[in-house]
């Protein structure tokens, strides 16, 4: 499935980032600038520019800033869990509110299991500082993610090509993030390891991943897609064990199993049920 393939690519970003001597903000900005530029060059069509897609581009850029501000204030573990875990919930609520598409009981069960598994996976081996301001920023990040995902899905449903949608949103986000890259420091791009890492992050974990994600949205409800995207932290954790010789606590392995169970249930096909229709 394309959504899961995109999540697998996203999950490689953390491991890949260890090969560049760069700060997390600089690396994330470079990733978005490079990936957005690739998508824009390949797929942007002037006639496809619209206010909603430009708004989506602003949400993509703002998500990056909120996420790293949250992590800085409340720690990596809690910031990641709150931002990534709240994304599917906000996506389901937005889809329900805007498109009158009621989430199914199975989606809700799968999402609860996947989010709980994600939390146990990330938090099972340690703790973090639950600073209220950081948690609020992480929640805002989850809402921003949901907003640009729903914006993309609605544009695709209207008949705009998925590649064009992603090219427009991420191309616009690249323009917005360029000053962040320059201000946070782009010196690492002058080194071979830094440049190669940034190119991989931009071309593979952003450009290719969002092409796959956008094409997956053609046939997958956006709320389900957001739940399936929770495969990202699972892949990141497994790569940490396999490549970086990290160790997971037994509780984290249990969280990984719960997350996998939620993703399997979410991946099963189901029909959409419009709000107010008979079951």
Q: How many secondary structure helices (H) and strands (E) does the chain include?
A: 13, 2
What are residue 101's DSSP bridge partners? 274
Low-confidence stretches of the chain (pLDDT < 70) are 46-49, 125-130, 269-279
**Domain boundary assignment for the chain:** 2-268
Query: Residue written as tokens 């940034």?
Result: 198
Separation between Cα atoms, residue 136 and residue 66, nearest integer Å? 9
Instruction: Pinpoint the alpha helices (H) of 203-249.
Output: 209-216, 222-228, 231-242
Q: What is the pLDDT of residue 167?
A: 95
Separation between Cα atoms, residue 249 and residue 254, nearest integer Å? 9
Separation between Cα atoms, residue 134 and residue 132, nearest integer Å? 5
Buried b or exposed e, range 224-248, using 16+ CB within 10 angstroms: bbbbbbbbbbbbbbebbeeeeeeeb
Separation between Cα atoms, residue 122 and residue 134, nearest integer Å? 17
Separation between Cα atoms, residue 126 and residue 266, nearest integer Å? 28
Tens digit of pLDDT for each residue in 121-174? 888 765 555 678 888 998 999 999 999 999 999 999 999 999 999 999 999 999
Query: Residue written as tokens 């931002």?
Result: 83
What are residue 274's DSSP bridge partners? 101
- Other Cβ atoms closer than 10 A to 59: 23
Q: For 155-279, list the strands marked E by DSSP.
A: 273-274
Rounded (5°) CA angle 221-223-224: 70
Residues 208, 167: contact at Cβ < 8 Å? no
Separation between Cα atoms, residue 110 and residue 57, nearest integer Å? 29
Structure tokens at 258: 């719960």
């Amino acid at each position: 499935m394309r959504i899961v393939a995109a999540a697998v690519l996203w999950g490689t970003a953390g491991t890949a980032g260890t090969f560049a001597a760069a700060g997390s903000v600089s690396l994330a900005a470079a990733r978005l600038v490079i990936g957005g530029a690739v998508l824009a060059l390949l797929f942007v069509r002037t006639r496809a520019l619209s206010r909603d897609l430009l708004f989506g581009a602003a949400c993509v850029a703002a998500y990056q800033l909120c996420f790293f501000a949250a992590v800085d204030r409340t720690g990596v573990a809690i910031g990641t869990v709150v931002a990534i875990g709240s994304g599917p919930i906000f996506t389901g609520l937005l889809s329900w509110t805007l498109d009158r598409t009621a989430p199914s009981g199975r989606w809700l069960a799968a999402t609860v299991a996947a989010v709980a598994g994600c939390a146990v996976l990330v938090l099972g081996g340690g703790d973090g500082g639950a600073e209220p301001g950081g948690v609020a920023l992480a929640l805002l990040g989850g809402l921003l993610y949901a907003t640009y995902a729903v914006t993309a899905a609605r544009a695709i449903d209207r008949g705009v090509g998925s590649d064009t949608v992603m090219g427009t949103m991420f191309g616009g986000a690249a323009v917005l993030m360029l000053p962040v890259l320059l201000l946070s420091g782009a010196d690492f791009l002058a080194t071979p390891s830094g440049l190669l890492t940034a190119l991989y992050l931009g071309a593979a974990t952003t450009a290719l991943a969002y092409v796959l994600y956008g094409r997956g949205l053609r046939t997958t409800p956006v709320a389900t897609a957001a739940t399936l995207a929770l495969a990202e932290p699972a892949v990141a954790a497994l790569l940490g064990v396999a490549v970086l010789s990290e160790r997971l606590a037994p509780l984290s392995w249990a969280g990984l199993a719960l997350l996998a169970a939620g993703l399997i249930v979410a991946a099963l096909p189901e029909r959409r049920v419009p709000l107010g229709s008979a079951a």
